[in-house]
Amino acid sequence: MAELKVYDVIIYIACFGYKTGGYAKIKTKQKKPVHFNYLIDTRCLGPPPFLIEAMKARNGTDEVLQKFLEPNLSKLAEHEAEHLANLIGNWWRKLRQVNIGIGSSFGLHRSVAMQVILTKKLSVLLEEEYGWKIKIIGTYFGSFKSDYKLLHDSFASSVQA
């Protein structure tokens, strides 16, 4: 609870793939289900089928993948970031911690790519509009062929303002 005194809002963004069981299987350390305040579905604007297999080997923070997904996901991320900033702005007196879930049936890489784009846009909107000090923690549920530490380090470096 000491962290809440430092930050106005702490936002947890969890990514998952629908094929790995969806958000119903996501549990806290106490084995209780996570209750998301907001869910984002990134199934729309999917990549062509021949690229899905090629992208499965990459994680969502990969620059090549980000360049491909950026045009598709930036419109969705812009819309969701504005909507979330307004919701969090209305919630903030009641809610200091916000849980956001991002799901994709095209693969976990797509929801992680959305997480990276959304984190950047949401942090800018909340800091500029409301002047809040925020902390965004990104996690994912499922498995990549790449190492988790690599994803965590690259995500942390892209989020630092």
Q: What is the pLDDT of residues 116-156, one digit of tens each?
A: 888 888 888 888 888 888 888 887 775 544 333 334 444 44
Residue with token string 């994912």 = 140
Question: Cβ–Cβ contacts within 10 Å for residue 70, how many?
Answer: 12
102 touches 111 (CB < 8 A): yes
Q: What is the pLDDT of residues 10-26, one digit of tens each?
A: 888 888 777 666 666 66
Q: Would you kindly state where each structural domain of the chain is located, as residue ranges?
A: 9-156
DSSP code per residue over 98-114: EEEEEEESS-HHHHHHH
Max CA distance (Å), the chain: 49
111 touches 123 (CB < 8 A): no
